[in-house]
């Protein structure tokens, strides 16, 4: 399953109303660490497709949502369950570290 592109306009409908836990990544085109973890999250979206959904949100094109959630650095991943943030992970990590983080919270 591919990562879902979120915008300020569709964020609430896609993320906050999701039936499954949702890992929302905040990113930017110019961010090296963001580019490093993007393919890892694509792989995890396939591996964990029955358990969790993944989204990507460009902070430069869509700045309101990251501001609303206090995103101050990127990459930032917010894990949502039932429309609420249950945990935050800032910075690049290995695929296994990200997977372990997700599985420990859902």
- Active site (annotated) includes residue 90: no
Q: Which of 31, 53, 74, 78 is catalytic?
A: 31
- Active site (annotated) includes residue 96: no
Contact 59, 76 (CB under 8 A): no
21-57 b/e (C-beta count within 10 Å ≥ 16 → b)? bbbbbbbeeebeebeebeebbeebbeebeeebbbbbb
Q: Which of 15, 34, 44, 78 is catalytic?
A: 34
Catalytic residue IDs? 31, 34
């Amino acid at each position: 399953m591919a990562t879902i592109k979120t915008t300020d306009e569709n964020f609430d409908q896609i993320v906050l109303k999701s039936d499954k836990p949702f890992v929302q990544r905040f990113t930017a085109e110019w961010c090296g660490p963001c580019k490093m973890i993007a393919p890892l999250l694509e792989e995890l979206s396939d591996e964990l497709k029955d358990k969790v959904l993944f989204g990507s949100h460009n902070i430069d094109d869509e700045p309101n949502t990251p501001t609303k959630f206090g995103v101050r650095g990127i990459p930032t991943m917010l894990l949502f369950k039932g429309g609420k943030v249950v945990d935050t992970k800032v910075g690049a990590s290995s695929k296994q570290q990200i997977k372990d983080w997700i599985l420990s919270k859902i």
